[in-house]
Structure 1
């Protein structure tokens, strides 16, 4: 879901026409553009924002600007705003990254940032990213983003940061490399000349040079202090004349804090009571507009409105189209009088106080009228809530200490907040509520449980909060949300049956308008049913997830859902339909510039599977390779299909080294990440098939034994899968086992392991697996010399394969299937399609025998030599052990090195272990 953004945070602050220009500092900033970062670090009131705004106006490069606030410590919010600012430089920049981060299953942050850096590097014009007020940031994940940008700097972007305190970034390292431009307090303070220009030309004080120098010295060139002093002197001149300047300067001593307190007191005392009241009461606001200030000041009250309506300043030319309210007129008056208000939009409808001035006003309000603080925050909360600005309404309710109101507002905003992945924001809100209040609100407890789960807290902690919801919800009003949570937990635990049950329960109970949860649960249910074999429910659920994701703008979830529907079509044997769906998903995952987003990698791997079924190895390999490259921008977990597919293709091409390398990568990924058991089984089963094809039957048999199968008779074959395993996991496992048994020439074991699987896949309508099973059964019957039954199975396999164009499932079986296909043709069985498959088999045989693109499998004797190398025997000892000449040993060793792509024994041993050849 796209996030509503405060566009004023992205505006470069407006420059006053009566600005004190600072060309020497602008020159330093301009000279540093070829370095990685500019850092303006100084206390409040030293003109950092103004200087950056002036630089932005004359630097000659596009500028992306973000004014940071405390809410940007939520990583999702921070990324949304950074990307929004970047998109002012180039439209669509980073859109896919943000969509991926806000999805139900976001990739690792590092991989998302890699993709963002790659996109920034592709921008045609160099630009500057300015982050102002970075002192508000404290969250470690946010600084991880900034650190990543600095450690992997795109050539097209210069980062500029303004802050009161140095951020936890590699500043010293950048300084040491000469990649940092720094302006600090000593650089930013006004010189005597600049102070004179400000005090006399802009503020019109006509001070003598000695007085200017004294004032600049007393304030140490501190711009905020000079501005406060100037406003105070203006007030004195109106009431006392300028003869009292020396006394004023004598009183202006001490620390910045003392000077501030003194000057604020001076400035406030010189304002009318109405202006003083306005300044103090509106100081609770981060942003100021006429209508908002009217609400906070209760302008609906006739007496209050009359007191402010007496102020009638002239309106500036550039104003909002809205009719001016009493507060709007005051804001314009304050800007005209240089009273520390800053316009933050182009129409001068929205303002903010200078941060330092606002802090001082808030302190004074708390000291003088603490009873008003909660009332004012409550009014602001009401105004924001009435305009649908939930975050601001919640923050003001919490600041008011009105926890009941805050809890109500948090409940209303919970779903959309979670939908935008602003988990940290939600956790901050909930953390501010008293625990006893939270525990009696079941819906809030449910969302808190979700936030705990999605933020990586232990399942037990989330389950405890969910139990609070169950105990508090006597009426069962949150049953749908509770079921949705339990479906997700079951999915995390790999419990397909419970995941399906809870998902269906949640969809039955959740209201139609609960878009986020319905989309998430529909996706969970669809994926679970796809694995369990309920194709009808799977398709309905995934299509529903795609529809909801489209309506809510969740691109990544929509692409995933459509791609999973295509996966289902492949299982059902509807390959042409699957291609249309994959192409639809691929179009969704391609941005306006024609660039494919990383999520397109999932789709391309699906297309690779499709082309592999059609035996178009070249196109399949291209899809797999591009899909892997795209997904790797996020991480490697999603690349398993691609690596396994490439292993199959390399094996088919006779490239043993390439096949081993690809399957090894798949193994490493599955082992390195805590993925589902089915993913491990997927890799292991194809590894076993490759071992069989490469003549390493011992390794394949060991794998079969690990699946709790009896080697001698297969008596446990029918019950090989655990009860909790999905149909898909069992299908992958059992077809792999059947291959091992065929290689051992144990046809009865093949038939026994496949018979129950055939019934289940046929009932599920899984044509792809059914074809595969029938081919394996046909080969098993052929080994048993039951040619008639073998041809019955083969005939059915061909009839099921022809509508979709399945070819590879036959070609993978090699010479044994050739003999059966020729018999089928001789008996008039599926003659046309059998000829097509035979032609593909002949073409593959010619390709692999004429010019093998890679190494051949190790022979049995080479495997024996390799085993002795691994245990440490010398060439002479190997010759003695095998009773062969030492020259023959050397020939075998050289062949082994060539086939394993290594150059010595140490490398050969490491390669053997990596590829599990022994």
Structure 2
């Protein structure tokens, strides 16, 4: 038998506590996490936090074994390790690094700090199961080593250690790896199963990964159970939190030892998918729900923060399954009461989908129909509550026959899980409606129309959605209240936007937003406002779009961790606003906030805006990639005309920016042929210049000819832009105007170029458009500089745009400008006056702007003329530009 202990001083030490644990028989290399540990160990503190079975020790041991300079000091803590024993083990763990420089007794941390501080290089110590250290003196000693001895501490722990971590966070010296980081991805789950000799189809692997949520222990237990199993599909299907293997592990490693109040919160809170402090208080009668949820997160690791405001938490899927099974077995009456409480709470929070689900689970038939009848406007547009964690049993026949509304409620609840069953219940409700009379029948018809609209929305048939939404609006308009009208208008406006009818969508959404704001339902404000903000942004009403989008995003539903798609429309609107105003960083941040949308058209719009932002950055390849991603989303689906045009024009612009004008015209040719059959080989216009092309296509085609050196054809292709029609995109009009100015300049028509440029500036200035100018770069800069010389009412804007468009001949950042002809440099005040000379301001107006006397300004002007060897204002400005003073 191997002797597994050695003696240090008077304390016997187990060598196994000081040894890096061996690798498991099957392991998955976590390359990203190993890299995090490498970078973290260069700083003072690295913490790997997670519940039992999350692979902390396996990861730390793998990292220790791979260290190029050999394993660091290692200590596995056990319960009951007091101060003397702990410091003896620490000294032994570091003995080979520090050397036996004195005993480690009660003054161990001081002696050890002195020894470590004398080392030329810091030393690394891994302490596993750090959460078992509860001695305040020990923790103070560890802090002493971190502050004064240069120790590099790497810990594995089930909860955040009681160390002053805030100090390290503020100094950016703390590396944290948490349970979310330790979670296995689908590929890692497949690798683990394969290592165990378990071969499953990809679909079953994904199913198992979803069930375990990537929990490493759950996957390892599943792999053991699947070895040689005759029916792997059946085992995966039944591998829930109530499976004996999982239930035993959770009971021993997670639930055992939990305080009674926390066990009570888990037992009662398991009926809900998401828990807030207030909901826990409703379910338990306790006053401290948020604190208890925070304690559960720290103690179990299987109750996770879900974000949002107010903060929310959720149980790991398998833990929730175990708790619900126990609740139903031991106290089914309590489950019904808890669902009833949850239903009332969710209804009060304007969350009717969740309220409906809980009422049905409680078999509270009157409550379920009451939720549907009283809250259906807040169900539109409908977002399924997700797979039911506790599916409600079907209501009995007698309850449905006496209340057909119950069939609608059950149909709605089952729609997200089982569309076929949901459809059967909807048809049953329609059949039973024939027995109703009077006002009850009228109300039922409205409810049924709303549920039919929900079915159409989730079915993805745009025509069916428009038809159902129009019917619902017709039913509620005569007598419906503002909430009902707003909900129906929101649905119809969304359907028209999806169909590409921007004018029709805007008209309905304007009315819907007014009704919603007057009536007060956040859901309709969210739905109408988010889409209206995007339409306003697309049309160039940037101030209005920004105001509406920010109003929408301030609503509580957009603070939830699981937000409705409407919020993404508002973020996309803000991205368009920021992009048009020349703020790409801000635009990209809004795109990130929008996330990956589930609605195909919304996802495609996000991709095309992303492509344009990458174009603005000069990343043309990235722009193509974004367009390909968007087209893949739309593949095989009906596509709104304005979306199809946008994609084609965006690609043509990328091709033109690459100088590949022939390919750009090829991209546009199908649209040219569609709208103007019989065009020439280059898509050129007829001799009379008449055009029926959509304005974005005409502008993109014109640009290809200008880039190709044919300004005359480019000018002939341009659409009418000066007097816009309702619904025209202002950005396209501005683009057309700039092309008009540039082509006129190339053709020698200075007067037309000047007039066109001044008109574009007048249109762009109120809404703050910048991007359309900046994209043209140096060619437009020269035109703007000449325009500034000739006089403009928008000289501050032109001055800003000259800087933004840039030029190789312009000022070189950081380089001193050449000396003026006189050899005398201009003073700071003279340089300021010189910048004003670019404008059309008189000396009197310049004096007023600078708070100087007119005589002082005249003196500065005379000095400028003398130093620049100029006799008049325009000549002085021209020479200043040549000298890179402007």
Q: TM-score range by the shorter chain?
A: 0.3 to 0.5
TM (normalized to structure 2)? 0.45
TM (normalized to structure 1)? 0.44
